[in-house]
Each structure stands twice: as structure tokens, then as C-alpha cells.
Chain A
């Protein structure tokens, strides 16, 4: 049982972008977060992801590192060069790599947090996302 901590109505105003190449995981996040009442958009590879981020207007972005066409770190670099037209909320990096170097790089490039996908159960993911959204 998971508890809907936040008012679903409140959540409806929040837009979240999920950039994840694995279909199952991506659709899982979509389902999970839609059920929470968030408005979800997604991209399955780096270039589309970058475009959507640059269009802007998201309250939160979940960005996978290992992506086809353009990886997460490159997207972050490109964002530094050409920032989004409309501002976005925090960017949380998703990864299964426990590599410190990559995580550090992500932070240097502007990510606010990271999740190790395999380490967390969906409850914990939700907690993290809620707190990230609330932080703003």
C-alpha cells in the first residue's frame, strides 16, 4: 500500500519529464507518477529528450545517463551551452552505474540529485521525487 502523501489535485499542476531508453522502466515511471497525479511527458532517446528539456516548463526532469543518440551527461553539457527557453525545475539523474566519477560530473553539470534505479523500490523513488519537487 502506498500512501498518497500529496494532494492529487496539487500534483496536477506539476509536469514531470522522464528521459529513459528502456521501455519497461519508462512506462513504469509513467504509470507510477501518473497515478500520483503528475502530468508526465517522456522521451526514449537523448536528442528528443534534449529538445523537450529545451522547450522547458517542467517542474522536474528524470534523466537517464545511458541513452542512445546522446547520453545524459552530454545533454547536461548542451543545456549549459544553450539553456532552455522556459526554465525547468531540478534535474534528477537516473542510473544503474554506481560510478562516483560520473555522478560527480553530473552534479558539476547541473544535476540536483541522483537515483540508483536498482537500489530503490518504487516507494523510495516517489519519496525522492516528492521531496525534490517540494524543495523548489
Chain B
């Protein structure tokens, strides 16, 4: 009876567990076919167990009906296991082979269904013996047994096959599954197939669902958890429990039986079962009971029962969260105070820059007191040599064992100090052999001495703290450097900005000046030249118009006026040119052209003046390649040089114009038979207002400004050439030469820009006129 009750309890536990696992899995993910299938297995296992219970106790329906229901359930359960072995884990290969097994199972399943429900071939009858149903099995049953074994074996094989092929988490999951299937199949095979068929004993069939808890339990654990314990550890845990339970139960029951035997009392089986049940439950709960007792007793006796690992785990976690020194020190002090229940703590940090310790935080110590420990370097040096915790209680014996008398003295002093400030422990925090911090601990609140475990724990805390503190220290250094850098950068930026502003304002000033200069130049250009042009025009008309009679005197005066005006105009023009040249405001429009043509062009303009002085100008015909330069500017240079030649050559003179090729340049030379140049004259020629000593007479009549050569030189240089003058001496004439670059092929064939029509070029394009 008791056994029966016990077993019933177990069975119902199984039913409920399976059901809960079914719901757990279903609600975890009911869209996933694997989960669906697993919850189906769990469900069918629970209905199997329930069905068998109802069968055994003949509740609600007849046992016969129940048994048929149960066997149909088994067919389905086997099928669900079978399908699970195909769909877990999901790989492509399996889907191809699913068709044949599916057909096989369907056909055989349906066959068995039919025989179970509609015939007596499977289950012949159910007889009631003493209110306990006994099944009488039909001829088909052994085949069913074989079939069930085959299908379960096939499923197991599938799992094994997948297990071999898988890796990592899946492999572990399949190990659990495999085990589960193995146990699940083994027990029913023994209780439902072997016993009934071979031993003709069907008494235990209703207990076989117990095996389902293995399959369902293992599989659910494997599928639901993401991180599985190694199965050996899981099995180990289970076996420990089971063995302990069995051993304790056996011990207790043996003890009871011996007691009864010795005391000649009858063995009451029911009481035995009761004792077994209680011992079973107690064993299960045993470890829980012990930790409960420990907690109560430690609370009663103030013992600092701390969990080593837990403390350290929390400490490392907290220490790694922060980089700021104050926060870290807070954490260290918290841990020390709380785990060891101390009265006083101080944390001293060694500042390497100032070579002094700084009290980062104290609780319970006077600031002065803590620092007094490290007044000199003794403690630091000593600890660097002996990196141990200094325990006041042990210091006496350390002092006695110290050979060096100096050290002994110092240690004595230290001893006195520690007593004076009520410090019990000094823990060095060391990093790469330097003491970076000291933890000074007072006595425990409980008054107990520090135990070996305490010192060990302190060592570990110290090493963890050393990393954290060093990090904080380095971080602080980096922060300081950073700040420093930022300040410097800000300073430098400010200076740069200031300089920039200065530059900017200087630039603005320059721009204003430049504009003023431009305005000045424009004004001079226009305003000055307008009245000059008027003067010249009217004087010219007065002189040249045939219908105005003039006396000789008037003629002379007006002539001189005209000449002077011309000079003035030329001077203003030249000065404007110079100003523009120096400001770099001359725009060059270079192109390829023939210098020979240009020279002849210029000569046309010059012709009247040459004729006046009867000077012969010869241009040597020379196959000159094109030059690449601004033709207008070259024209100016030629005008200047040829006019000069005319000016300084007396009547009946000769001017020869020659060309030559020199490397990549064309040399144009203007040779005159004029007054010539002395060696002293030559350097001053191309300077501004460089006049020749004996040239005033010529200058007065020809209107030179002294700027002509300077302008010519500047222009030639702008165009990439050189200009120079040579002379054999006074009276032998002079030669002025300049070079211009030869045009490249590309420049020759470049499209010519629209030519600025200068005066004479326009003339060339028109019909020839005779002057």
C-alpha cells in the first residue's frame, strides 16, 4: 500500500513535470518545429503516464479501454520521437531521406493503430485480479515490441549520426538527447517488452513512463538553455544525489531492521517504507539544510563568514569599473571594512613626483597619524625588499630575528608608531617592485586577531588593488598631460589668432593703400593727361594750321611749348608705366609672332624721324623663327631702342638691325654709328633716370625721360629675356641687344588671341596711305 502510494506520488510528479515541460517549451517558441515536436513528446509522455495510472486504478473508464488508449499513445509517442530525430538538428541532407522513413512509419503506425483499437490481436484482454488489472497480450504484441525497438533504435541512430557530424553547442545538445533517448528506451523495453513477453510479468508496465522524465528532462534542458553544463558534470550531480540518497536510505533502513531484529520486534514494512521516504526527502534537501544552519550560526556569533570567491569577484568587478582614484579607494575601503569588520582603515598613495605619500582616505585614523608611518623612506624601502604584510602581533618576533642593528632600530620605531596610532596591519600594494600604496588596517571590531585566511585574502586584494591604483595613477597622469597640452594648444591658438588678426589688419591697410595708389594712378592717367593733351593739341593746331598767320617769334615760342609738352606727356606716361611695372600690374598677352615683321612695322613709324636726320636704317633679312612674347610690349621696346639710336646718332648716320639665334632665344641687336658709350656709362644705362653726361643737348631736342631703358629692361625681363648694351667707346657707336624666347611648336599653332589693334596695326589693315 505504502509502496503503491509512493509510486503513485512519483508517477504524478512525472505527469506534472512532463506537462510543465511541454508548456515551457511550447511557450518558449511555438513557431519553431523543433520546439513544437519536443513539446509534443513531453505532452504524449505525460498522457502516457496518466493513461497508465488510470488503467492501473481503473478510474472513469474500464481498464481495457484505457490500455488501448495507452498503446495508441505509445505508437504516437514513438512516432514523435522518431520525427524529432529527423528534424533536430536541422540540416539539409536529412530532408531528402525523410520521405521513406515517413512512409514506413505511417504505414506501420496505422496498422498497429487498427489492431490496437479494433481487434484483439494486439491486446487480447484485460483481466482484473484482486482489483489490479492484468493485461493479456495478443500475438501481434511481440511484433509491436520489435517495431518499437526498431523505431527507437533508428531515432537513436539518427541522433548519434548527427552527434558525430556536429560541433560545439549542437554536439553537446545531441549528447544530452542521446542519453535521454537511451534511458527513455531502455526502461520501457525492460518493463514493457522484456518482462511481459519473456517473464510474463506485466505488473510494472505502469511504471515505465518514469523513463520519460529522462528524455524529456534532458532534451528540454538541452534545447532551452543556451549554455549547457558538460553532461558529465550534470550526470555527476545526478548520480551524487541518487547515490547519497540510496546509501543514506539503505543505511537508515538497515539500521532500523537491525534494531528491530535485535529488539525482537516485528518488521513493519509500512514503517520501513515511511522511513525510507523521509530519508529520501531529507537527503535531497540535505545541502540546503546545512547552509541554512551555517548562516544562522554565523549571524549569532559575528563571525565574518565571508565567501572568499564572492568577495574577490565583487572586488574585481567594482575595481574595473572606475579609473578615478577616489572612487577606487572608496571601493577598497568598503570591501575591507565590510568583509573584515574593521575599526580603522587608511589608504596612502605614493606620489612619485613629490616622493611623498598622500592620504587618499582614512576612516578612524587621524590624518597625521597615518602619515607619520611614512615620515621617512624606511618603510617603503623595507617593504620593497620584503613585500609582506606587516602584522603588529608578529612584528616583535620579526624584530628579534633581524640581524642588522639599524634595521632593528627602525623596526622598533615602527612598532612603537603602530601601537601609538592603533594600527594592526600594514599591507603594501606593490606594482613592478615599487610600493605604490599602503593599506593601514586597525583591529577588527570583534577584537579577533587576523587569521591566515585574512592575510591571504589581503594579499590578493592588494594585488588587485595594485593594478587598479596603477591604472588610476597612469590615467591621472594622462589627464594632466592632456590638460597641459590643451592649455598649451589654446595658448598657441590664441597667439596664432592674434597674429592672424594683425596680419589681417595689415592686409586691409595694404589693400587700402593699394586702392589709393590705383586711384592715384587713374587720376594721374586721366586728369593729368587731359589738360596736357589739350595744351599739345592747341599748340599743334596753332603751329600747323595754314590759315593762322604766325610771326617767327611766336612760331619759336610755340614750338618750344609743343616740345616741352611732348616731354611732359612722355614723362608722365613713362612714370605711369614704371609704377605699373613695379606693382606687377602689367598684363602680358604673349603669342607667337615674327619679330622681323614687327621691326619693319616699327620702322614705318620711325621713318619720318629717320628721314629728318638722313639716317639710314637697315634691317638684315634673316630667317628668324617666331618668338613667343607680347607683341605690344616688344613694339615698345623696339621703339625705345630705335628712337634712342636715332637720338644719339648724328645726321647721315647708319643704324643696323640684326638678328641671331642663341640656344632657345632670338637675339635682336640695334647697332648705331652714334656717340657711343664709355665703360662708366654702361652700368647706369638701365637704371631709372640714368642720364649720360654729355647727352643733355640731345635729350632736350628729342624729349627723352630717362626711364625708357629702365622700362625696356623691365619688359624684356618680364618676357623672359635679357637686355644689354655694348660699345667700343666714345665716338664708336653702340649696340643695344635683347633676347626673346623662341616659340615652341605648340605656341606657334596655338589659336591667336584677338589682336589688340594698336594704332599702326589698324593702319596696316587699311588701305596704304602715304605720309
Contacts and interface: CB of A to CB of B under 8 A. Distances in A.
Interface of A: 1-2, 5, 22, 24-25, 28, 31-32, 35, 66, 96-101, 103-104, 107, 112-115, 117-124, 127-128, 130-132, 134-135
B544 A118 contact: no
Contacts of B576: 98
Contacts of B767: 131, 134-135
Contacts of B531: 24
B759 A124 contact: yes
B501 to A, nearest CB: 33
A25 B767 CA distance: 28
Interface string B748-771: 000000101101001101110111
Helix, strand, loop or mixed for chain B's interface? Answer: helix
B243 interface: no
B411 to A, nearest CB: 96
B294 interface: no
A121 B540 contact: yes
A37 to B, nearest CB: 14
A103 B756 contact: yes
Helix, strand, loop or mixed for chain A's interface? Answer: helix
B762 A128 contact: yes
Nearest to A136: B766
21 contacts: A1-B546, A24-B534, A25-B537, A28-B538, A28-B541, A32-B541, A96-B525, A96-B526, A96-B529, A98-B525, A98-B576, A107-B756, A117-B530, A117-B533, A118-B533, A118-B536, A118-B573, A124-B759, A128-B759, A131-B762, A135-B767
Nearest to A96: B529
A74 B589 CA distance: 25
Nearest to B771: A127
Which range contains the number of B residues in contact with the other chain?
35 or more
A95 B56 CA distance: 131
Contacts of A115: 759
A134 B764 CA distance: 12
Given A131-B769, A134-B766, 6 more contacts: A1-B544, A1-B546, A35-B545, A112-B757, A118-B533, A124-B759
Contact of B587 (A24, A97, A101, A134): A101
B685 interface: no
A2 B608 CA distance: 14
A28 B525 contact: no
The winner among B534, B576, B765 for most chain A CB atoms within 10 A is B534
B763 A128 contact: yes
Contacts of B538: 24, 28
A31 B530 CA distance: 17
B532 interface: yes
A1 B546 CA distance: 7
B132 to A, nearest CB: 123
Nearest to A31: B541
B530 A25 contact: yes
A114 B754 CA distance: 14
A117 to B, nearest CB: 5
A32 B569 CA distance: 21
Contacts of A117: 529-530, 533
A75 to B, nearest CB: 17
Interface string B392-435: 00000000000000000000000000000000000000000000
B766 A118 contact: no
Contacts of B757: 107, 112-114
Contact of B526 (A66, A112, A132): A66
A32 B547 CA distance: 12
Contacts of B766: 131-132, 134-135
Contacts of A25: 530, 533-534, 537
Contacts of B759: 115, 120, 124, 128
The winner among A5, A100, A103 for most chain B CB atoms within 10 A is A100
Interface in B474-529: 522, 525-526, 529
Nearest to B535: A24
A107 B754 contact: yes
A103 to B, nearest CB: 6
A5 B769 contact: yes
Interface string B366-400: 00000000000000000000000000000000000
Enumerate the 6 nearest inter-chain pairs by beta-carbon distance, A residue then B residue, closest first. A131-B766, A24-B534, A96-B529, A118-B529, A28-B537, A117-B533
A28 B587 contact: no
Contacts of B762: 113, 128, 131-132
B541 A22 contact: no
B545 A100 contact: no
Given A28-B541, A122-B544, A97 B526 contact: yes
A25 B573 CA distance: 19
A28 to B, nearest CB: 4
A22 to B, nearest CB: 5
A72 B766 CA distance: 25
A1 B566 CA distance: 18
A88 to B, nearest CB: 18
Contacts of A130: 769
A21 B533 CA distance: 13
Contacts of B577: 98
A114 B765 CA distance: 15
Nearest to B753: A104
Contacts of A2: 544-545
A32 B542 CA distance: 11
A16 B212 CA distance: 125
A135 B768 CA distance: 11
Contacts of A120: 759
Interface in B293-325: none
Given A5-B769, A135-B765, A96 B533 contact: yes
Contact of A28 (B534, B566, B572, B771): B534
A22 B263 CA distance: 156
Contacts of A132: 762, 766
A21 to B, nearest CB: 9
A126 to B, nearest CB: 10
Interface in B708-744: none
A118 B540 contact: no
Nearest to B759: A128
A100 B589 CA distance: 10
B22 to A, nearest CB: 94
Contacts of A123: 540, 544
Contacts of B770: 5
Given A25-B533, A131-B767, A122 B573 contact: no
A113 B766 CA distance: 12
A8 B286 CA distance: 144
B188 to A, nearest CB: 108
Contacts of A101: 587
A121 B536 contact: yes
Interface string B83-125: 0000000000000000000000000000000000000000000
B525 A97 contact: yes
A130 B538 CA distance: 20
B559 to A, nearest CB: 13
A74 B757 CA distance: 21
Interface string B537-569: 110110011100000000000000000001001
A135 B765 CA distance: 8
B608 to A, nearest CB: 10
A118 B769 contact: no
Contact of A122 (B522, B540, B589): B540
Contact of A127 (B532, B536, B587, B769): B769
Interface in B38-70: none
B530 to A, nearest CB: 5
A35 B547 CA distance: 10
Nearest to B540: A122
A109 B314 CA distance: 88
A98 B579 CA distance: 12
Contacts of B573: 98, 118-119
A104 B587 CA distance: 12
A123 B766 CA distance: 17
Contacts of A121: 536, 540, 566
